[in-house]
Structure 1
Amino acid sequence: MTLLLGVALAACSSSENSNQAAGKAAKTTPKPVLGEFGVDLTGMDSKVAPGDDFFDYVNGRWVKDTQIPADRSSYNSFSVLGEQALKDTRAIIEDAAAKGEKTGNAARIGDYYSAYMDEAGIEAKGIAPLKAPLAAIEAIKDKGMLAQALGRSLRTDVDLLNATNYTTSNLFGLWISVNLLKPDQTIPYLVQGGLGMPDRDFYLEGGRMETLRSQYLAYIAQLFELAGVADGEAKAIRILSLETAIAHVHASQLDTNDVQKGANEWAQTEFAKRAPGLDWTRFFDAASLNVQTQFIVWQPAAISGIADLVGKEELQTWKDWLAFHTLDNAAPYLPKTFADAHFAFHGTALSGTPEQRERWKRGVDEVNHALGDAVGKLYVAQHFSPRTKARAEAMVSRIISAFGKRIDALSWMSAPTKARAKAKLAGLKVGIGYPEHWRDYSGLDVRRDDALGNAQRASLFDYQRNLGKLGQPVDRDAWFMLPQEVNALNVPLENRLIFPAAILQPPFFDANADDAVNYGAIGAVIGHEISHSFDNTGALFDETGKLDNWWGKDDLAHFEAAGAALAAQFDSYKPFPDLAVNGKLTLGENIADVAGLATAYDAYHLAYPEAGAALDGYTPDQRLFMGWAQAWRSKMREPALRNLLLTNVHAPGQYRALTVRNLDPWYAAFAVKPEQKLYLAPAERVKVW
């Protein structure tokens, strides 16, 4: 999920009469950011009937009038909030850079940013910073040395947020977190990698993918040419052939997102037998994992298949592959010709983005990536008030309570399964705003004249920090997001939710807006994240975070049948004649949307049991559902939308807005009739939780 906030907020009022007084209060209190009560009525298309297309009804005029910025592949409510967060953090970072302090986090922030922004210095160095790494690759003489090089590359890829839904150009990706089989331990997760394009389909499918493969081939050759490496075109052909072979052994997106298929614990001593072809001893030694005895192998067939290719493919092809990805990963920190070539493929060809973002925006992202907690601590001090935190915590508490009442009311769930569900809900831990403990960056070497070196050292520093978790008690207070990040997170392995500070701003939360709108937006987002603990993946984990079946047989069958119905509903949404939403791939997010919106609706009516007054002719229920649809305003360029449909667990925003079809109160609120396009008969409305 994703959201935002920026103003100091008044204490939350949940008294019964506050909603009825909203019209009068609006005359004496500050106006909301959007419209008179929190909904941008000018963005609506009143010519569209709510029952025919609720997304267009709420957002149609906005979609028609809004242009996607040239430096973006998509634009939505989250983009607007992200831009504000970017400006806020820019001010913090540039202030640190201007002060030029010699020690401490302010010095690290300022020096990191200054090095990245020093384009003249980067141009002057040229390709020199990569001469040693490229020479080391060229010096590889056998497959044992290759295994060492591949192990060292693993140290640049630790993704703590999501083990199952990201791609890496390194041979494998690494994720270090709680053991889903033994939640009192921390363990490394090894996942498939090796591809320079987003997914295996980009290598194996026809149509648009054939064009992209040609562009990728040209890009590989171009980087070699820019680096002064001979025979770039021949190397490119070999690299693409190797990555195509890797793609053939990769797991699909559906299998990758199946937690039960990913729960494979291997001892280090088993790798040589289960995945021959790679010298695992030298690989793990180079990755500083030689003392680690156990691993979770997420896609075992892919890990075995890739290892086999290491053994079978020519050494020179692997050396070419390593050299290209060394250039590709470094390109954003090299002279402009490299950075522009990198964007032309990764930005324009893959996603359809016409223009690269301004350098300061990229610089802010780089600093956040390397020193995010240091920036976040300053961001919280300037942009997140204790009153905001208190109001968010109160809202979360109400919505958790409403979810508990929904569990109690389930007619199909047995008492033992309900008891386990309630235990999981009771144990849910919620972090609001910022972590309890900030990261220590005192060991990170940052230099004001070394952009590429800073990025490399920051990556290794983070890798070593994560390795330090192994063998230690699980830290259940650690955050996987930054306070200035416009997002939210459910951590099923720890039965925990995280809502960063930047998530509480309009259009998702506005202290001056009508609470019905707030509940439809931020309330539904909070409900969404709570519901992730009980979606098709979260429901597999018990109250301790362990992968454990706590369901009664009949209860699980009913839940899975509801999920299948929801998947079929989303399968019917087709943005293009040849490509539809993948209902199974997006099922977890769609379950969380249905349950989250329904729970937010319940929580609103628990807070405001009286009917409430109409505002500008819209009832509280109408405003709540409009707040939901407004949150999903979005436009995407065709290439980006096609990529999302293939690889992302989230459905496009215009279809997430249609979640309302499954809630009975929406039909009453907008007098939706059977002859209208979105109408579902009561028996066809999916009830999940």
Structure 2
Amino acid sequence: MNHRFIKPLVLALSLACSGAVLAEKVELTRGLDTKQFDAQKPICSDLFGYVNATWLKNNAIPADRSTWGSFEQLDEASIHATHEIAEDAARKLASLDADSIEGKIGAFYTSGMDVAAANKAGVAPIGDWLKRIDSLSSPDEIIGLIHDSHAQGLGLLFMFTGEADFKNSSMEIAYAFQGGLGLPERAYYLEDGKDGSYKKIREAYRAYIAQALELAGTPKAAAARQAETVFAFEKRLATASLAPVELRSPENQYNFVTLEQAQKQNPHLGWNKFFASQNLSDSKGFSLSQPKFFAEVDKMLGDVPAADWQAYLRFKTIDGAAPYLSDALAEAHFGFHGKTLRGQQQNKPRWKRVMETVEDSMGMALGQLYVERNFPPEAKRRAQELVDNLRSATKVRLEKLDWMGEETKKKALEKWASFTPKIGYPEEWRNWDGLKVSRDNYFGNVAAAARFNHDWAMAKINKPVDRREWGMSPQTVNAYYNPLQNEIVFPAAILQPPFFDPKADDALNYGGIGAVIGHEILHGYDDEGSKFDAKGNLADWWTKEDREKFDARAAKLIQQFDDYVAIDGLHVKGKLTLGENIADLGGLNMSYDAFKLAQSRDNKNPDEKIDGLTPDQRFFLNFAQVWRRAFRDAELKRRLNVDPHAPAQFRAIGAPSNMPAFAQAFGCKSGDAMVRDGERQVKIW
């Protein structure tokens, strides 16, 4: 599944940490970590600081991480678990069937750990591609290479994949998306940034382009000239690209055209030949999702000299392959993408980089082995109970909405009734027959998996959507909502403390995983998800009056987050993060309702204290503990530009500050920072 369309709880978890700092498995936080609470930061002023400031002060971000907190600790446990699986498979590789999942995982991991072979090979694994690029002389040859790169799963210049049709979600079609940039988004090419950081990053990027070209054999002076050419090439692409806020709109993600229409719009791109090269000749049409971008690419095929195309394609080929080649290339790649863009101090230990590659290439295969060892059936049953309770609370809340008319409310409830929850792992595992993995060819395995996965994706296009599929592996510490299938999905790895513990009291589970479940349900009613109907089709099911009321309420939430200052005078972008903030606010309210219903149903004393804390207090404290997270400065600045999620510290305070139940739980008064009342209070769902 293309992750562009699913709505994860949190983006961009790094899959590794410093071996020096974290040689052993991380101990997960169970229950409330009350010894970390900081009384110097009053709850009514800063819930996040009260719960997390002491922990953050005493727990530095590991050297090869850009963030560190509850998510990353759980992620660390997951990567250790999958590493054990890969190590076991590698140790007994000689006795395993080479075509078994375990045999393929063991061989892939073994090949990746052979650093001597990678250093000896240098750039030889991509030598044929580089030779072909060097021989390009005409637009037809250039576009032919781009077509072939996609057929091999390497996808140069733009993104191309399959997903459900926005207008007919039961069928899968092809989508072409803007791409081709090496910097996070268009603004990095076209602006200097409020703090001047974009300009510095551009300079570092040019230096990295030249370094990568030189390491791959281009003479120093020529590499420097080509770096300027590559940057100018990408800047032109950036000028025609949409910004992250614009890309959030479903209308900017879907633009269905017939092949004939696409061919007329982009004659140089040669869509007929492209589809034939992807074994999709029978396609009637596809989503040419950002037509302005592809129009510019088509012009560039006609007016950019072949030598400039060669420089661009040469660098993109080297950059894409660098993590799987020699140490020199891998470190150069990390120096820019990890250190400059994200602020990491050192690269990941090799075994974690290899595990990340295995995850990217064969994540569901690895997940099948992970679930067998790490996800007991009772965890799934208890999680299902919570999902059922959250869904019930959601229905009640929808029925009682006082700002929505009956016509729209009826459609909202129809959508509620069609939600599909998925918990733990897929009911049916993907077949990996046909993928050949060698124990002594790391890049060859990466390339083979890329081609295998691309062929698998292409084979689904123009066919009915398989609703059993998952867009995340079970070992992923995340959750998501897919508007096209109207489904909420909770992988096994997130169903652990501090999010979920079958032995914990209800307050902790509803403040943790309950808020996550509510968050994903509410994505169906955020500013994007609310444009899709009960069947997952892009359709307007709102009355004009109700949509205007919704937009007015959402505008207040935009303003709330626009007012938060993250770092160096840089504010959170309320429009970029709106969908996640709506989901946080509605999800926490839904989870609180479900929590109170569970207490009432089970005849629990609503004032019974544990460790001196009432159930309501424990609910909100665990919500804040889940969002325990620190960022490196560079990573925080990058995310402010591209991440649709607000930084964790603002997610921890944003929703509770709009809830009277929070103020009541801690005796907060009007005027306190954590109390948004009157016209400032945001109520949507």
Scaled to the shorter chain, the TM-score interval is over 0.9
> Per-residue deviation at 1:156?
5.6
Structure 1 residue matching 2:460: 3-state secondary structure: coil
* Equivalent position to 1:655, from 647, 650, 660: 650
Give the corresponding residue for 1:378.
Answer: 369
Contact 2:136 2:142 in 1 (8 A): yes
For 1:195, the aligned partner's letter is L
Structure 2 residue matching 1:545: 3-state secondary structure: coil
Structure 2 residue matching 1:487: 3-state secondary structure: coil
Give the corresponding residue for 1:90.
Answer: 83
For 1:649, the aligned partner's letter is P
Give the corresponding residue for 1:418.
Answer: 409
For 2:104, the aligned partner's letter is R
Give the corresponding residue for 1:506.
Answer: 497
Alignment of 1:536-575 (within 5 A): 536-575=527-566
* Equivalent position to 1:67, from 60, 71, 83: 60
For 2:516, the aligned partner's letter is V
* Equivalent position to 1:172, from 158, 174, 180: 158
Tell me the distance in 1 between the aligned counterparts of 2:309 and 2:456: 29
> Per-residue deviation at 1:277?
4.1
Give the corresponding residue for 1:77.
Answer: 70
For 1:208, the aligned partner's letter is S
Tell me the distance in 1 between the aligned counterparts of 2:462 and 2:238: 34
Cα distance 1:486–1:156, how it changes in 2: closer, same or farther (>3 A)?
farther
Corresponding position: 1:134 with 2:130: yes
Alignment of 1:385-396 (within 5 A): 385-396=376-387
Tell me the distance in 2 between the aligned counterparts of 1:85 and 1:33: 11
Tell me the distance in 2 between the aligned counterparts of 1:102 and 1:645: 47
Cα distance 1:156–1:198, how it changes in 2: closer, same or farther (>3 A)?
farther
Structure 1 residue matching 2:468: 3-state secondary structure: coil
For 1:460, the aligned partner's letter is R
Give the corresponding residue for 1:198.
Answer: 184
Give the corresponding residue for 1:164.
Answer: none
* Post-superposition CA distance 1:141-190 (Å, at most 9, x none): 210111111122234669xxxxxxxxxx8311123110011112111111
Q: What value does the CA root-mean-square deviation take over the aligned residues? A: 1.6
Give the corresponding residue for 2:24.
Answer: none
Give the corresponding residue for 2:23.
Answer: none
Tell me the distance in 2 between the aligned counterparts of 1:489 and 1:156: 29
For 1:88, the aligned partner's letter is A
Tell me the distance in 2 between the aligned counterparts of 1:284 and 1:236: 32
> Per-residue deviation at 1:280?
3.1
> Per-residue deviation at 1:283?
3.4
Tell me the distance in 2 between the aligned counterparts of 1:155 and 1:88: 33
Give the corresponding residue for 1:56.
Answer: 49
Give the corresponding residue for 2:205.
Answer: 216
For 1:225, the aligned partner's letter is E
* Post-superposition CA distance 1:226-253 (Å, at most 9, x none): 1112311111110011101111111111
Structure 2 residue matching 1:114: 3-state secondary structure: helix
Give the corresponding residue for 1:152.
Answer: 148
> Per-residue deviation at 1:577?
4.0
Give the corresponding residue for 1:254.
Answer: 245
Tell me the distance in 1 between the aligned counterparts of 2:578 and 2:455: 35
Contact 2:9 2:520 in 1 (8 A): no
Contact 2:474 2:492 in 1 (8 A): yes
For 1:73, the aligned partner's letter is S
Structure 2 residue matching 1:575: 3-state secondary structure: strand
Give the corresponding residue for 1:430.
Answer: 421
Alignment of 1:627-638 (within 5 A): 627-638=622-633
Identify the range of structure 1 (361-370 vs 593-602) with the bigger mean alpha-carbon deviation.
Answer: 361-370
> Per-residue deviation at 1:275?
3.2
Give the corresponding residue for 1:324.
Answer: 315
Cα distance 1:368–1:671, how it changes in 2: closer, same or farther (>3 A)?
same
Give the corresponding residue for 1:349.
Answer: 340
Identify the range of structure 1 (169-178 vs 193-202) with the bigger mean alpha-carbon deviation.
Answer: 169-178
Structure 2 residue matching 1:608: 3-state secondary structure: helix
For 2:462, the aligned partner's letter is G
> Per-residue deviation at 1:347?
0.3
> Per-residue deviation at 1:431?
0.8
Tell me the distance in 1 between the aligned counterparts of 2:187 and 2:292: 17
Query: Mind listing any 5+ residue stretches in structure 1 that lack a counterpart?
Result: 4-31, 159-168
> Per-residue deviation at 1:274?
2.3
Structure 2 residue matching 1:187: 3-state secondary structure: strand
* Equivalent position to 2:677, from 675, 678, 681: 681
Query: Mind listing any 5+ residue stretches in structure 2 that lack a counterpart?
Result: 1-7, 11-26
Q: TM-score, normalised by structure 1?
A: 0.92
Tell me the distance in 2 between the aligned counterparts of 1:493 and 1:296: 15
* Equivalent position to 1:672, from 668, 671, 681: 668
* Post-superposition CA distance 1:241-299 (Å, at most 9, x none): 11011111111111111112332101111123323543333333334444322111222
Q: TM-score, normalised by structure 2?
A: 0.92
Tell me the distance in 2 between the aligned counterparts of 1:189 and 1:293: 13
Structure 2 residue matching 1:493: 3-state secondary structure: coil
Tell me the distance in 1 between the aligned counterparts of 2:274 and 2:378: 50
For 2:172, the aligned partner's letter is T
Give the corresponding residue for 1:616.
Answer: 611
Give the corresponding residue for 1:226.
Answer: 215
* Post-superposition CA distance 1:562-600 (Å, at most 9, x none): 111101100000112431100011000000000000000
Contact 1:277 1:309 in 2 (8 A): no
Contact 1:662 1:687 in 2 (8 A): yes
* Post-superposition CA distance 1:31-72 (Å, at most 9, x none): x9646xx11112211111112111101111112212000010
For 2:312, the aligned partner's letter is W
Give the corresponding residue for 1:625.
Answer: 620
Tell me the distance in 1 between the aligned counterparts of 2:446 and 2:29: 39
Structure 1 residue matching 2:169: 3-state secondary structure: strand
* Post-superposition CA distance 1:604-651 (Å, at most 9, x none): 000002414012221111110111111101100111000000001000
Corresponding position: 1:452 with 2:447: no
Contact 1:71 1:353 in 2 (8 A): yes
* Equivalent position to 1:303, from 288, 294, 297: 294
Structure 1 residue matching 2:521: 3-state secondary structure: helix
Tell me the distance in 2 between the aligned counterparts of 1:214 and 1:286: 37
Identify the range of structure 1 (640-649 vs 215-224) with the bigger mean alpha-carbon deviation.
Answer: 215-224
What is the percentage of aligned positions where both structures have the same residue?
39
Contact 1:278 1:308 in 2 (8 A): no
Tell me the distance in 2 between the aligned counterparts of 1:296 and 1:2: 26
Give the corresponding residue for 1:112.
Answer: 108
Give the corresponding residue for 2:357.
Answer: 366
Contact 2:656 2:674 in 1 (8 A): no
Corresponding position: 1:464 with 2:481: no
Identify the range of structure 1 (301-310 vs 200-209) with the bigger mean alpha-carbon deviation.
Answer: 301-310
* Post-superposition CA distance 1:103-134 (Å, at most 9, x none): 21111111111111101111222222121111
Identify the range of structure 1 (288-297 vs 124-133) with the bigger mean alpha-carbon deviation.
Answer: 288-297
Contact 1:202 1:213 in 2 (8 A): yes
For 2:614, the aligned partner's letter is T
Contact 1:58 1:626 in 2 (8 A): yes
Contact 1:74 1:636 in 2 (8 A): yes
For 2:627, the aligned partner's letter is W
* Equivalent position to 1:39, from 22, 32, 53: 32
Contact 2:69 2:627 in 1 (8 A): yes
Give the corresponding residue for 1:408.
Answer: 399
Cα distance 1:668–1:686, how it changes in 2: closer, same or farther (>3 A)?
same
Structure 2 residue matching 1:468: 3-state secondary structure: helix
For 1:255, the aligned partner's letter is E
* Paired positions, count: 649
Tell me the distance in 2 between the aligned counterparts of 1:385 and 1:179: 36
For 1:378, the aligned partner's letter is L
Identify the range of structure 1 (84-93 vs 301-310) with the bigger mean alpha-carbon deviation.
Answer: 301-310
Give the corresponding residue for 1:586.
Answer: 577
Identify the range of structure 1 (420-429 vs 253-262) with the bigger mean alpha-carbon deviation.
Answer: 253-262
Tell me the distance in 2 between the aligned counterparts of 1:347 and 1:653: 21
> Per-residue deviation at 1:354?
0.5
Contact 2:161 2:458 in 1 (8 A): no
Tell me the distance in 2 between the aligned counterparts of 1:341 and 1:71: 15
Tell me the distance in 2 between the aligned counterparts of 1:152 and 1:172: 13
Identify the range of structure 1 (595-604 vs 677-686) with the bigger mean alpha-carbon deviation.
Answer: 677-686
